[in-house]
Structure 1
Amino acid sequence: MSQSPHLTKLSRRAVLALPVGLAAASGHVAAAEPRRGGTMVMIVHPEPSTLAHYAVTAGNIPPIATQVYEGLCTYDWDLNPQPNLARSWEIAPDGKTITFKLQEGVTFHNGKPFTSADVQYSFMEVLKKYNPIAPVMLTELTSVDTPDPQTAVLHLANPAPYLMKALSGRDLPILCKSVFEGTDVLQNPSANKPIGTGPFKFVSWERGQSVRLDRNEHYWKPGLPYLNRIIARFIPDAGTRSAAMEAGEAHFAAYSAVNYADLARMTSNPILGLTTKGYEMTPAQSVLELNGRHPQLQKKGVRQAIAYAIDRNVILRDVMYGYGQPATGPLSRKFKTAGLYTDDLRRFDVPDRIEIANRLLDEAGAPRGADSMRFGLHLEVNSFGEQWLRQAEYLKQALAPVGIDVTLRSEDTATWLRRVYTNYDYDLNEPFLSQGVDPVYGLNKQFLTSQIRKGVTFVNDMFYSNPEVDRMLDAGMREPDPIKRGDIYKKVQQILAEDCPMVWLIDVQYVSVFNTKLHDHTTGPLGTQQAFERAWMDK
């Protein structure tokens, strides 16, 4: 699908008024023939700490890793699974067995043939043990049989229909067994020199500068990819990132690597276009995590007071520049059409929210001191862009009137993640969390007691543990009736909003900026978190 340059002529007001995805949905009048060759430069921010995509799920890794690693399936715009490394599959009537027929003639970048043994090893020995989301998505997987090199049979303890939505290279990548077997998986040299079956091969990583990926001349999809090379550039300064796009030095920037504040200016640049397509399988929320071990944050009234004190509309207006919607609770509105979302829960956006917050803090035994402050908290600033610093600055301002003195702490990505998810040395944390295409992905990893997993990023670091929620999330995984399943998740949302283990801020709308000479960059609902195998450039 070619991307239209026409969006560049619209005003910011008009851009915000467009239905989501319209920018990418309108193509050129006449489809152009793809051209072979060229180098695409994409901006990735911040620089990843690792490319071990199978063990770390930070959002700045997949734009690089999914060019190298592939999954059994890819997905169409309706979010239906399509053949990829698996050419077909059959689900048993009881839902407990999924038989995948694999593509023939596929080789890894090291020349090793791809077989069912690689699928078995990837799922059972790597993903189930080391991947942050796999213990949730693969909780029902008991074994993988390999009756022949081109057949992999997944055996499940219970039906898991959501699993078919998580078989992309982004979520459950397939690794080369011979590269990892007999080694320490987390220390394997290929972690930062990845070897996969994808359309591009890893060449080099110049720390602080870029990663180079070259065309896989032996790629199993005939004629693909079109590009000769992809360069992932790391540019710490927001102004320089925007300038690189405006000057044509970079061709693609996704996941809001270009700050929201600069998007209005981008729309007047004739070489640039914007699209909100490519995020359909990655709905996300900006949230405020609360460390449940903190003496004050252990009190439900204090947690609720923090939620009341924050005006989400200010964040939407001044930080997100209108891209997104104020969050109402634990699930994004994008789950509404599936009957899983509800806003019939405790609402924190009420007119007298500041009065309520102060009353709750008084009742929680947190009186004001001589300086009018009740207590202090540290807020860990999200390192993924300047907009998150602006959000943190607002949060500090918002909590001061209710007597909470917030100190901001900014660090590089690796230090930030280690402090929060390994050392638990934090009070407040402001990540943005992907919710995937099913509540099993988003809710389970954040709120199940079993997902308190020291050293694992973006899971339950709040120490939230509610047996009723555990039971209901477990039931929601296994409930086949969509109406009953919707009722379960609506009740879970109500309980979570009452317990308030985190504060839900914004249903995030990401934006991709692209050079109009780059075509077919956003060809599916995973956008930049799937391979640019069909992307091509005008010369």
Structure 2
Amino acid sequence: MKGMFALGMMSRRGLMALALAGTAVFAGAPASFAAPKTAITIGMAIEPTGLDPTVAAPVAIGQVTWQNIFEGLTTIDKDGKVQPQLAESWEISEDGKTYTFKLRQGVTFHNGVPFDSSVAKFSIDRARGNDSVNPQKRYFASIEAVETPDASTLVLKLSEPAGSLLYWLGWPASSMVEPKSAADNKTTPIGTGPFKFVSWAKGSKVDLAKNADYWNKSVSVKLESAAFRFIGDPQAQAAALRAGDVDAFPEFGAPELVKSFEGDKRLATVIGNTELKVVAGMNNSRKPFDDKRVRQALMMAVDRATVVEGAWSGYGTPIGSHYTPNDRGYKDLTGVYPYDPEKAKALLAEAGYANGLTFTIKAPQMAYAQRTSQVLQAMLAEVGVTMNIETTEFPAKWVADVLKAADYDMTIVAHAEPMDIDIYARDPYYFNYKNPAFNEVLKAIEATADPAEQERLYGEAQEILANDVPALFLFVMPKLGIWDAKVKGLWENEPIPSNVLTEVHWEE
């Protein structure tokens, strides 16, 4: 009663003031409970040369389109595992040479054309054909025939078992494309994914919009639109993040600037792994690198932690083989030949180089390669090895001299392809490394489709490389993600180069 009495004694002016104040409170309330944003701007350092990942290799293409516009029979999830996608299930024959896929029904491309077995056959035949320019064409080489018993069944007949086929079919290069629009996908991509292509302002950005007719109703796509904005200069990337001109840079280009974001509560820094394996390859057919003891000694002369600090501001994961923590069956083999300069000197002496040796490293002009070379140069000098650094223009000069001609002593490059441990079995390839036992392990991997057996065999392959040291295995470059702290659902790690938007949303 006391409260009611007090209110009753108020003046008319007081009541009016109270009423207006209440109006202000309620008028302001929606701002506290505003609907979450449904648009996002993603920053990228490199603009793609086109938008069709099935006809060109640059990873930037897939970073815009894969799982956003284009999808495959299978897909690779954020843990690097194979999952069904446009194929909902499959059966593999006992001899491993016939794959029968049951395709999803009710899937349409963004132009309204239905997805069925005839479209899947077109996509695979286009990738494996004589005129194919598919960047992963070699992975389709084992497919002898593609059959379509009915609209929802696809059968692949192989000439030999390919146990990694389901994994390869999940790559951007294996995306399903609609026959009539395929030729124009470079500029106006048409896929089955959760986002449709809207426009491409060359030199600036690519705009996407939510696909309201997306087939996968189990996925709740929160974003209504997304833009990929291209900013090459690291300082400009940092400025755009601070100004809010971009909401996220999933791969920030300057590790030395990462600490400058400390204390900025609006932005989150997320450090993950990529597939970028930085290795110093050696010409295994050229002296002194044809002696395994020399290669092993050089590995023991390298303190990987110091390399990571000097090359990439402490961001990165040391590796002991050509494999990353993202990859199935990964083993940490950095302890096989750990940093031990005294043992390195002794092994060099045993190999006949007690008085040291001299060679040249052909180092691309990229920052990580130059910095790593300088750190290696100082470390190797500590064990009596003189390494001269020759800066080599990348990609043209490096591809001509190293990759094609194998005219080099040592080089350094970041290998970007996921699960590409098989490069050490290629003949010819620039390492000039030959080990029949390693090749047999890789054949055994393809001979089985059992994931557990494959992981065991991948472990064996890693161990062989860690012991043979055909390259100095240094570190995995990090995925330096900086984005608005309210943005959720971006991948922390990158088992395959991508910017998957399906689960991205703004925190309410």
TM range (shorter): 0.7 to 0.9
Q: Which residue is equivalent to 2:235?
A: 239
Report deviation, 1:504: 0.7
Query: Alignment partner for residue 204 of structure 2, among 206, 209, 216?
Result: 209
What letter is aligned with 2:360? G
Secondary structure of the corresponding residue to residue 465 of structure 1: coil
Which residue of the partner structure matches residue 405 of structure 1? 388
Question: 3-state SS of the aligned residue for 2:185?
Answer: helix
SS class of match (1:473): helix
Answer with 1 or 2: which has the greater Rg: 2
Counterparts of 2:460 and 2:89 in 1: how far apart (Å)?
37
Are 1:288 and 2:280 counterparts? yes
**Residue in structure 2 matched with residue 326 of structure 1 by the alignment:** 318
1:103-114 correspondence to structure 2 within 5 Å: 103-114=104-115
**Given the alignment of the two structures, is residue 500 of structure 1 paired with residue 484 of structure 2, yes or no?**
no
Q: Deviations over 1:250-272 (max 9, x none)?
A: 112224x2433333333421111
Give the letter aligned to residue 138 of structure 2.
P
Encode CA deviations 1:480-528: one digit per residue, 9 max, x unaligned.
6778766654553344344432221014442322212333334997587
Q: Per the alignment, in what secondary structure is the counterpart of residue 514 of structure 1?
A: strand
Deviations 1:340-382 (A, max 9, x none): 6363985152242552575478549x976xxxxx343321144
The superposition leaves residues 161-193 of structure 1 with CA deviations (integer Å, 9 ceiling, x where unpaired) of 53333433536222223345xxxxxxx553354
CA-CA distance at 1:405 after TM superposition: 0.8
Please say if residues 326 and 493 of structure 2, whose CA atoms lie closer than 8 Å, have aligned partners that are also in contact. Answer: no
Distance (whole Å) between structure 2 residues aligned to residue 329 and residue 169 of structure 1: 23
Helix, strand or coil at the partner of 1:98? strand
> Is 2:158 the counterpart of 1:163?
no
Q: Which residue of 2 aligns with 1:521?
A: 490
Deviating beyond 6 angstroms after TM superposition, the runs of 4 or more aligned structure 1 residues are 480-484
Bigger mean CA offset, 143-152 vs 290-299:
290-299
When normalised by structure 2's length, the TM-score is: 0.76
1:503–1:483: structure 2 CA closer, same or farther, 3 Å change rule?
A: same
Give the aligned partner of residue 100 of structure 1.
101
Gaps of 5+ in 1: 1-31, 181-187, 369-373, 453-459
Structure 2 CA distance for aligned equivalents of residues 236 and 375 of structure 1: 34
Identity rate of aligned residues, in percent? 26
1:53 corresponds to: 53
- The residue number in structure 1 matching 2:413 is 431
Deviation of 1:429 after TM superposition, in Å, equals 4.1
Equivalent residue for 1:183? none
* d(CA) in 1 for partners of 2:336, 2:88: 46
- TM alignment of 1:5-24, pairs within 5 A: none
Query: For 2:305, what is the secondary structure of its paired residue?
Result: helix
User: SS of 2:483's equivalent?
Assistant: strand
Deviations 1:384-404 (A, max 9, x none): xx4454334423444455111
Paired amino acid for 1:347:
Y
Q: Tell me the equivalent position of 1:122.
A: 123
Deviation at 1:414, TM superposition (A): 7.1
CA contact 1:377–1:404 (8 Å) conserved in 2: yes
Q: 1:160: how far off?
A: 4.4
The alignment partner of 2:376 has SS state of helix
Q: Contact 2:275/2:494 (CA < 8 Å) preserved in 1?
A: no
Q: Partners in 2 of 1:481 and 1:226 — Cα distance?
A: 36
Distance in 1 of aligned mates of 2:162 and 2:35: 39
1:47-88 CA-to-partner distances (Å, cap 9, x unmatched) read: 344444224444433211212221123455665544422233
Q: In structure 1, give the amino acid aligned to 2:204.
A: Q
Q: Distance in 1 between matches of 2:365 and 2:285?
A: 19
Output aligned runs, 1:430-469, within 5 Å.
Answer: 430-434=412-416, 436=418, 441-444=419-422, 446-450=423-427, 452=428, 460-469=429-438
Q: Is the 8 A contact 2:69 2:196 kept in 1?
A: yes
- Give the drift of 1:126: 0.8
Match of 1:5 in 2: none
Contact in 2 for aligned 1:302/1:360 (Cα 8 Å): no
TM-score, reference length from structure 1: 0.72
Match of 1:533 in 2: 502
Q: Which residue of 2 aligns with 1:261?
A: 256
Alignment CA distance shift 1:533-1:101 (3 Å): same
Q: Tell me the distance in 2 between the aligned counterparts of 1:432 and 1:464.
A: 18
Q: Which residue of 2 aligns with 1:85?
A: 86
Q: Select the residue among 145, 163, 167 that pairs with 1:143.
A: 145
Deviation at 1:244, TM superposition (A): 1.7
Compared CA separation, residues 64 and 76, structure 1 to 2 (3 A): closer
- Aligned to 2:323, the other structure's residue is in SS state coil
Cα distance, 1:396–1:218 mapped onto 2, change above 3 Å: farther
Q: Which residue of structure 2 lines up, in the alignment, with residue 391 of structure 1?
A: 372
Structure with the greater relative contact order (CA < 8 A, sep ≥ 6): 1 or 2?
A: 1
Partner Cα distance (1:349, 1:448) in 2: 27
Please tell me the residue identity of whatever aligns with 1:516: A
Separation of aligned partners in 1, 2:442 and 2:50: 31
Question: Is residue 381–residue 388 contact of structure 1 (8 Å, CA) maintained in 2?
Answer: yes
Shift of 1:468: 3.2
Tell me: CA distance 1:299–1:117, structure 2 relative to 1, closer, same or farther (3 Å): farther
2: distance between equivalents of 1:532 and 1:488?
Answer: 33
Would you say 1:252 and 2:248 are equivalent positions? yes
For the pair 1:474 / 2:466, whether they are aligned, the reply is no
SS of equivalent residue, structure 2 residue 415 = strand
1:175 paired residue among 161, 174, 177: 177
Q: What secondary structure, in the 3-state scheme, does the structure 1 residue paired with 2:60 have? A: coil
Q: Structure 1: how far apart are the matches of 2:397 and 2:229?
A: 21
Amino acid at match of 1:112: V
- Aligned partners of 1:306, 1:347: CA distance in 2, in Å? 9
- Structure 1 range deviating more: 501-510 or 392-401: 392-401
Give distance in 2, aligned partners of 1:111 and 1:92.
34
- The structure-2 alpha-carbon separation of the partners of 1:414 and 1:59, relative to structure 1 and needing over 3 Å to count, comes to farther
| Displacement after TM superposition at 1:287 (Å) | 1.5
Q: Is the 8 A contact 2:51 2:61 kept in 1?
A: yes
Q: Determine if contact 1:261/1:319 at 8 Å carries over to the other structure.
A: no
- Paired residues, number: 470
- Supply the distance in 1 between the matched residues of 2:400 and 2:227 (Cα, whole angstroms): 28
